[in-house]
Amino acid sequence: MRFGVALGHSFMNSNTVTSDPSFLAAATLFSPLPVPVLAKIFASGSLRRYANGDVLFRPGDQTEEMFVVKTGVIEICRVDPDTGGDKVVAYIGEGDAIGEMVLFTGSPRSSLARVPEEAEVFVITRSGVIELCRQEPDLALYFARVFASRLESWVKKGRRQDTQRQLAGNLRFFDLATVMQTLGDSQSSGTLVIRTDLGRVHAELDFVDGRIVQARLGHLTAEQACYQLFQPPPEGTFLFQGGLHLDSDAGPRISANVMSVLMEAMRLQDEWNNVRDRYEDHERVFTPAPGDLEWEDDDSLVAAFNIWSLLHRGLPLGVLTSESPYCSAVVLTVLDRLVRTKQVS
Protein backbone atom coordinates (compact mmCIF):
# COMPACT_ATOMS: atom_id res chain seq x y z
CA MET A 1 0.00 0.00 0.00
CA ARG A 2 1.32 3.45 -0.95
CA PHE A 3 0.77 6.42 1.35
CA GLY A 4 1.26 10.02 0.32
CA VAL A 5 3.38 12.20 2.56
CA ALA A 6 1.12 15.27 2.54
CA LEU A 7 -2.19 14.74 4.31
CA GLY A 8 -3.24 18.38 4.51
CA HIS A 9 -3.44 20.68 7.51
CA SER A 10 -3.94 19.43 11.06
CA PHE A 11 -7.31 19.89 12.72
CA MET A 12 -6.08 20.78 16.18
CA ASN A 13 -3.56 23.41 17.08
CA SER A 14 -0.20 21.68 16.93
CA ASN A 15 0.92 23.84 19.85
CA THR A 16 -1.25 21.67 22.08
CA VAL A 17 1.03 18.71 21.27
CA THR A 18 4.16 18.73 23.39
CA SER A 19 5.64 15.29 22.75
CA ASP A 20 7.08 13.65 19.66
CA PRO A 21 4.92 11.10 17.82
CA SER A 22 7.37 8.18 17.93
CA PHE A 23 5.22 6.26 20.43
CA LEU A 24 2.57 5.83 17.72
CA ALA A 25 5.02 3.66 15.78
CA ALA A 26 4.77 1.11 18.60
CA ALA A 27 0.99 1.31 18.84
CA THR A 28 -0.79 -1.82 17.62
CA LEU A 29 -3.19 0.07 15.38
CA PHE A 30 -0.70 2.45 13.77
CA SER A 31 2.62 0.56 13.74
CA PRO A 32 2.49 -0.42 10.00
CA LEU A 33 2.09 3.21 8.89
CA PRO A 34 5.04 5.26 7.59
CA VAL A 35 6.53 7.98 9.77
CA PRO A 36 5.15 10.96 7.77
CA VAL A 37 1.62 9.58 8.10
CA LEU A 38 2.10 9.01 11.83
CA ALA A 39 3.24 12.61 12.17
CA LYS A 40 0.08 13.87 10.47
CA ILE A 41 -2.12 11.66 12.64
CA PHE A 42 -0.32 12.91 15.72
CA ALA A 43 -0.70 16.53 14.67
CA SER A 44 -4.44 16.02 14.29
CA GLY A 45 -4.84 14.87 17.89
CA SER A 46 -3.70 15.77 21.37
CA LEU A 47 -2.22 14.18 24.48
CA ARG A 48 -4.18 14.07 27.71
CA ARG A 49 -3.03 13.16 31.19
CA TYR A 50 -5.41 11.27 33.46
CA ALA A 51 -5.09 10.74 37.22
CA ASN A 52 -6.28 7.97 39.50
CA GLY A 53 -10.05 7.51 39.11
CA ASP A 54 -10.48 9.68 36.03
CA VAL A 55 -13.07 8.46 33.52
CA LEU A 56 -12.55 8.56 29.75
CA PHE A 57 -16.15 7.67 28.92
CA ARG A 58 -19.24 6.00 30.35
CA PRO A 59 -21.89 3.65 28.92
CA GLY A 60 -24.24 5.53 26.65
CA ASP A 61 -21.81 8.33 25.82
CA GLN A 62 -21.68 9.31 22.18
CA THR A 63 -18.53 8.15 20.39
CA GLU A 64 -16.65 11.21 19.23
CA GLU A 65 -13.06 10.24 20.05
CA MET A 66 -10.67 7.33 19.86
CA PHE A 67 -7.81 6.79 22.28
CA VAL A 68 -4.30 5.31 22.11
CA VAL A 69 -2.58 4.63 25.43
CA LYS A 70 0.89 6.15 25.53
CA THR A 71 1.67 5.32 29.17
CA GLY A 72 -0.29 3.66 31.95
CA VAL A 73 -3.29 1.34 31.96
CA ILE A 74 -7.03 1.85 31.44
CA GLU A 75 -9.72 -0.37 32.97
CA ILE A 76 -12.68 -1.36 30.83
CA CYS A 77 -15.69 -2.09 33.05
CA ARG A 78 -19.20 -3.36 32.51
CA VAL A 79 -22.11 -3.81 34.87
CA ASP A 80 -22.02 -7.08 36.79
CA PRO A 81 -25.52 -8.59 36.43
CA ASP A 82 -25.21 -10.28 39.83
CA THR A 83 -24.14 -7.27 41.90
CA GLY A 84 -25.14 -4.31 39.77
CA GLY A 85 -21.67 -2.85 40.30
CA ASP A 86 -18.86 -2.23 37.84
CA LYS A 87 -16.80 -5.28 36.90
CA VAL A 88 -13.41 -5.00 35.22
CA VAL A 89 -13.50 -7.01 32.00
CA ALA A 90 -10.23 -5.89 30.39
CA TYR A 91 -7.10 -3.83 30.88
CA ILE A 92 -5.90 -1.64 28.02
CA GLY A 93 -2.15 -1.02 28.15
CA GLU A 94 0.54 0.94 26.39
CA GLY A 95 0.17 0.91 22.61
CA ASP A 96 -3.45 -0.28 22.68
CA ALA A 97 -6.31 1.65 21.09
CA ILE A 98 -9.86 2.15 22.37
CA GLY A 99 -12.85 3.02 20.24
CA GLU A 100 -11.29 2.91 16.79
CA MET A 101 -14.08 0.80 15.32
CA VAL A 102 -17.10 2.51 16.90
CA LEU A 103 -15.51 5.80 15.89
CA PHE A 104 -16.53 4.96 12.33
CA THR A 105 -19.93 3.45 13.18
CA GLY A 106 -20.93 6.16 15.65
CA SER A 107 -22.37 3.59 18.08
CA PRO A 108 -22.64 4.81 21.70
CA ARG A 109 -20.21 3.52 24.31
CA SER A 110 -21.16 0.24 25.91
CA SER A 111 -18.53 0.25 28.67
CA LEU A 112 -16.94 2.41 31.32
CA ALA A 113 -13.29 3.33 30.74
CA ARG A 114 -11.40 4.64 33.74
CA VAL A 115 -7.82 5.07 34.93
CA PRO A 116 -6.85 3.09 38.06
CA GLU A 117 -3.46 4.77 38.53
CA GLU A 118 -2.43 7.41 36.00
CA ALA A 119 -2.13 7.47 32.23
CA GLU A 120 -1.13 9.59 29.25
CA VAL A 121 -3.45 9.05 26.31
CA PHE A 122 -3.41 10.22 22.71
CA VAL A 123 -6.86 11.40 21.60
CA ILE A 124 -8.13 12.07 18.09
CA THR A 125 -11.67 13.03 17.16
CA ARG A 126 -13.97 11.28 14.75
CA SER A 127 -14.03 14.29 12.45
CA GLY A 128 -10.25 14.45 12.45
CA VAL A 129 -9.86 10.80 11.43
CA ILE A 130 -12.55 11.00 8.76
CA GLU A 131 -11.01 14.14 7.25
CA LEU A 132 -7.58 12.48 7.13
CA CYS A 133 -9.11 9.48 5.37
CA ARG A 134 -10.78 11.76 2.82
CA GLN A 135 -7.50 13.46 2.04
CA GLU A 136 -5.55 10.20 1.91
CA PRO A 137 -7.61 7.32 0.47
CA ASP A 138 -4.87 4.81 1.22
CA LEU A 139 -5.32 5.53 4.92
CA ALA A 140 -9.02 4.73 4.64
CA LEU A 141 -8.15 1.51 2.80
CA TYR A 142 -5.66 0.64 5.55
CA PHE A 143 -8.35 0.96 8.24
CA ALA A 144 -10.73 -1.13 6.15
CA ARG A 145 -8.15 -3.91 5.88
CA VAL A 146 -7.40 -3.79 9.62
CA PHE A 147 -11.07 -4.05 10.59
CA ALA A 148 -11.76 -6.76 8.01
CA SER A 149 -8.81 -8.77 9.32
CA ARG A 150 -10.13 -8.46 12.87
CA LEU A 151 -13.59 -9.58 11.83
CA GLU A 152 -12.15 -12.60 10.05
CA SER A 153 -10.08 -13.48 13.12
CA TRP A 154 -13.04 -13.12 15.50
CA VAL A 155 -15.24 -15.29 13.32
CA LYS A 156 -12.61 -18.04 13.18
CA LYS A 157 -11.25 -17.96 16.71
CA GLY A 158 -13.48 -15.78 18.87
CA ARG A 159 -12.35 -12.51 20.34
CA ARG A 160 -9.19 -12.67 22.45
CA GLN A 161 -6.69 -10.18 23.72
CA ASP A 162 -3.45 -9.83 21.80
CA THR A 163 -1.11 -12.50 23.17
CA GLN A 164 1.86 -10.15 22.76
CA ARG A 165 0.44 -7.35 24.88
CA GLN A 166 2.09 -5.94 27.97
CA LEU A 167 0.29 -4.60 31.04
CA ALA A 168 1.84 -3.05 34.12
CA GLY A 169 0.70 -1.24 37.24
CA ASN A 170 1.16 -0.61 40.93
CA LEU A 171 -0.79 -2.86 43.30
CA ARG A 172 -1.75 0.16 45.39
CA PHE A 173 -4.19 0.98 42.59
CA PHE A 174 -5.00 -2.48 41.19
CA ASP A 175 -6.72 -5.40 42.88
CA LEU A 176 -4.58 -8.47 42.19
CA ALA A 177 -7.52 -10.88 42.13
CA THR A 178 -9.26 -8.67 39.55
CA VAL A 179 -6.11 -8.60 37.40
CA MET A 180 -5.90 -12.40 37.48
CA GLN A 181 -9.61 -12.82 36.78
CA THR A 182 -9.44 -10.40 33.85
CA LEU A 183 -6.50 -12.26 32.33
CA GLY A 184 -8.52 -15.44 32.68
CA ASP A 185 -11.73 -14.01 31.24
CA SER A 186 -9.86 -12.55 28.25
CA GLN A 187 -8.08 -15.88 27.57
CA SER A 188 -4.67 -14.21 27.78
CA SER A 189 -1.38 -16.09 27.36
CA GLY A 190 1.83 -14.91 28.98
CA THR A 191 3.52 -14.44 32.34
CA LEU A 192 2.33 -12.25 35.21
CA VAL A 193 5.32 -11.13 37.31
CA ILE A 194 4.78 -9.52 40.71
CA ARG A 195 7.68 -7.55 42.20
CA THR A 196 8.26 -5.92 45.57
CA ASP A 197 8.66 -2.16 45.84
CA LEU A 198 12.43 -2.76 45.72
CA GLY A 199 12.13 -4.57 42.39
CA ARG A 200 12.70 -8.13 43.62
CA VAL A 201 10.60 -10.82 41.94
CA HIS A 202 7.97 -11.95 44.43
CA ALA A 203 5.90 -14.32 42.30
CA GLU A 204 5.39 -15.49 38.71
CA LEU A 205 2.23 -16.92 37.17
CA ASP A 206 2.13 -18.46 33.70
CA PHE A 207 -1.16 -18.09 31.77
CA VAL A 208 -2.12 -20.10 28.68
CA ASP A 209 -5.44 -19.25 27.04
CA GLY A 210 -6.66 -17.72 30.27
CA ARG A 211 -5.69 -20.62 32.56
CA ILE A 212 -2.91 -20.52 35.14
CA VAL A 213 -0.72 -23.46 34.20
CA GLN A 214 2.29 -22.82 36.45
CA ALA A 215 3.12 -20.57 39.39
CA ARG A 216 5.98 -20.02 41.80
CA LEU A 217 6.45 -17.87 44.87
CA GLY A 218 9.65 -18.45 46.78
CA HIS A 219 9.83 -22.19 47.46
CA LEU A 220 6.14 -22.72 46.70
CA THR A 221 4.79 -23.81 43.31
CA ALA A 222 1.47 -24.50 41.56
CA GLU A 223 -1.75 -23.79 43.50
CA GLN A 224 0.04 -23.28 46.83
CA ALA A 225 2.03 -20.40 45.29
CA CYS A 226 -1.22 -18.82 44.08
CA TYR A 227 -2.79 -19.16 47.52
CA GLN A 228 0.24 -17.62 49.25
CA LEU A 229 -0.16 -14.49 47.10
CA PHE A 230 -3.05 -13.41 49.32
CA GLN A 231 -1.51 -14.17 52.74
CA PRO A 232 -1.27 -11.18 52.87
CA PRO A 233 -1.94 -9.62 49.43
CA PRO A 234 1.37 -8.31 48.07
CA GLU A 235 2.46 -4.72 47.69
CA GLY A 236 4.62 -3.60 44.79
CA THR A 237 4.11 -3.76 41.04
CA PHE A 238 2.87 -6.21 38.44
CA LEU A 239 3.82 -6.77 34.82
CA PHE A 240 1.99 -9.05 32.41
CA GLN A 241 4.03 -9.86 29.32
CA GLY A 242 2.09 -11.63 26.59
CA GLY A 243 3.80 -14.41 24.70
CA LEU A 244 6.42 -15.12 27.39
CA HIS A 245 6.20 -18.27 29.51
CA LEU A 246 7.97 -19.87 32.46
CA ASP A 247 10.50 -22.64 31.96
CA SER A 248 9.29 -26.21 32.11
CA ASP A 249 11.09 -26.65 35.45
CA ALA A 250 8.97 -23.95 37.13
CA GLY A 251 7.00 -26.62 38.96
CA PRO A 252 3.94 -28.87 38.63
CA ARG A 253 1.15 -27.96 36.25
CA ILE A 254 -2.11 -26.48 37.53
CA SER A 255 -5.35 -28.02 36.36
CA ALA A 256 -7.96 -25.72 37.99
CA ASN A 257 -9.27 -22.60 36.24
CA VAL A 258 -8.54 -19.08 37.50
CA MET A 259 -11.87 -18.63 39.26
CA SER A 260 -11.48 -21.89 41.17
CA VAL A 261 -7.97 -20.91 42.24
CA LEU A 262 -9.16 -17.48 43.40
CA MET A 263 -12.14 -18.89 45.32
CA GLU A 264 -9.89 -21.30 47.21
CA ALA A 265 -7.35 -18.51 47.76
CA MET A 266 -10.04 -16.34 49.36
CA ARG A 267 -11.20 -19.20 51.57
CA LEU A 268 -7.65 -19.83 52.76
CA GLN A 269 -7.11 -16.11 53.26
CA ASP A 270 -10.04 -16.13 55.71
CA GLU A 271 -8.52 -19.09 57.55
CA TRP A 272 -5.14 -17.36 57.67
CA ASN A 273 -6.71 -14.19 59.08
CA ASN A 274 -8.42 -16.26 61.80
CA VAL A 275 -5.22 -17.84 63.15
CA ARG A 276 -2.28 -15.60 62.24
CA ASP A 277 -2.43 -13.45 65.39
CA ARG A 278 -1.85 -16.52 67.54
CA TYR A 279 1.35 -17.43 65.68
CA GLU A 280 3.25 -14.19 65.19
CA ASP A 281 6.45 -15.41 66.92
CA HIS A 282 8.43 -16.96 64.06
CA GLU A 283 11.17 -18.06 66.46
CA ARG A 284 8.83 -20.24 68.50
CA VAL A 285 9.52 -24.00 68.44
CA PHE A 286 6.61 -26.41 68.83
CA THR A 287 7.22 -29.77 70.46
CA PRO A 288 5.16 -32.79 69.27
CA ALA A 289 3.65 -35.05 71.90
CA PRO A 290 4.76 -38.71 71.95
CA GLY A 291 2.80 -41.08 69.73
CA ASP A 292 1.39 -41.06 66.24
CA LEU A 293 -0.51 -38.29 64.51
CA GLU A 294 -4.26 -38.34 65.10
CA TRP A 295 -6.14 -36.69 62.25
CA GLU A 296 -9.74 -37.16 61.12
CA ASP A 297 -9.95 -34.90 58.05
CA ASP A 298 -8.98 -36.97 55.00
CA ASP A 299 -8.76 -33.91 52.73
CA SER A 300 -5.95 -32.36 54.78
CA LEU A 301 -4.33 -35.57 56.03
CA VAL A 302 -1.33 -35.41 53.67
CA ALA A 303 -0.59 -31.80 54.61
CA ALA A 304 -1.02 -32.58 58.30
CA PHE A 305 1.38 -35.52 58.13
CA ASN A 306 3.96 -33.41 56.25
CA ILE A 307 3.78 -30.63 58.85
CA TRP A 308 3.76 -33.16 61.72
CA SER A 309 6.98 -34.66 60.36
CA LEU A 310 8.65 -31.23 60.07
CA LEU A 311 7.71 -30.45 63.68
CA HIS A 312 9.76 -33.44 64.82
CA ARG A 313 12.87 -31.68 63.49
CA GLY A 314 12.53 -28.96 66.11
CA LEU A 315 12.26 -26.18 63.54
CA PRO A 316 11.27 -22.62 64.49
CA LEU A 317 7.92 -21.57 63.08
CA GLY A 318 9.52 -19.30 60.46
CA VAL A 319 11.70 -22.13 59.15
CA LEU A 320 8.81 -24.59 59.34
CA THR A 321 6.74 -22.30 57.11
CA SER A 322 9.59 -21.76 54.65
CA GLU A 323 10.27 -25.49 54.26
CA SER A 324 6.71 -26.75 54.07
CA PRO A 325 5.34 -27.16 50.52
CA TYR A 326 2.09 -25.54 51.67
CA CYS A 327 0.97 -21.92 51.98
CA SER A 328 0.97 -20.16 55.36
CA ALA A 329 -2.77 -20.67 55.86
CA VAL A 330 -2.46 -24.45 55.57
CA VAL A 331 0.58 -24.59 57.88
CA LEU A 332 -1.01 -22.40 60.55
CA THR A 333 -4.45 -24.02 60.49
CA VAL A 334 -2.91 -27.50 60.79
CA LEU A 335 -0.62 -26.29 63.56
CA ASP A 336 -3.55 -24.63 65.34
CA ARG A 337 -5.54 -27.85 65.29
CA LEU A 338 -2.55 -29.77 66.63
CA VAL A 339 -2.20 -27.27 69.45
CA ARG A 340 -5.91 -27.40 70.29
CA THR A 341 -5.86 -31.21 70.36
CA LYS A 342 -2.74 -31.09 72.53
CA GLN A 343 -0.65 -33.03 69.99
CA VAL A 344 1.98 -30.25 70.10
CA SER A 345 2.94 -27.79 72.79
Q: Which CATH number goes with the domain that contains 111?
A: 2.60.120.10
Question: Is 218 a member of any domain?
Answer: yes
Question: Is 305 a member of any domain?
Answer: yes
Q: List the domain range (segments joined by +) for residue 248.
A: 166-273
Do 34 and 133 lie in a common domain?
yes
Do 125 and 203 lie in a common domain?
no
Do 142 and 20 lie in a common domain?
yes
Do 104 and 84 lie in a common domain?
yes
Domain boundary among 98, 126, 157: 157
Domain boundary among 124, 157, 190: 157
Q: Give the whole-angstrom CA distance, residue 40 versus residue 156.
A: 34
Beta strands in 99-145 (DSSP E): 112-114, 119-125
SS3 content of the chain, % helix, strand, coil (to 5): 35, 25, 40
Do 259 and 223 lie in a common domain?
yes
Do 153 and 34 lie in a common domain?
yes
Say how many domains are in the chain.
3
Do 19 and 145 lie in a common domain?
yes
- Contact indicator for 186, 160 with CB cutoff of 8 Å: yes
Do 53 and 148 lie in a common domain?
yes
Do 320 and 226 lie in a common domain?
no
Do 134 and 73 lie in a common domain?
yes
The phi, psi pair for 120, rounded to 5°, reads: -120, 125
Question: Which H or E run contains 144?
Answer: helix 137-157
Do 141 and 180 lie in a common domain?
no
Question: Is 189 a member of any domain?
Answer: yes
Please choose, from the candidates 21, 80, 25, 28, the residue with its C-alpha nearest in 3D space to the C-alpha of residue 45: 21
Do 268 and 285 lie in a common domain?
no
pTM of the shown model: 0.74
CA dist 271 to 166, 274, 334, 336, Å? 34, 5, 11, 11
Question: Is 345 a member of any domain?
Answer: no
Beta strands in 116-236 (DSSP E): 119-125, 166-170, 190-195, 201-208, 211-217, 220-221
Q: Cβ of 285: how many Cβ atoms within 10 Å?
A: 14
Q: Give the whole-angstrom CA distance, residue 310 versus residue 162.
A: 45
pLDDT of the chain along its 345 residues, tens only? 444 433 333 333 333 444 678 899 988 889 888 888 888 999 999 999 999 999 999 999 988 999 999 999 999 998 888 788 888 888 888 989 998 888 888 888 889 999 999 999 999 999 999 888 888 888 888 888 888 877 776 656 544 444 456 788 899 889 899 999 989 888 889 999 999 988 899 999 999 988 999 999 999 999 999 999 999 999 999 999 888 888 877 789 997 789 999 999 999 999 999 999 999 999 999 999 998 999 998 989 999 999 999 999 999 999 999 999 999 999 999 999 999 999 999
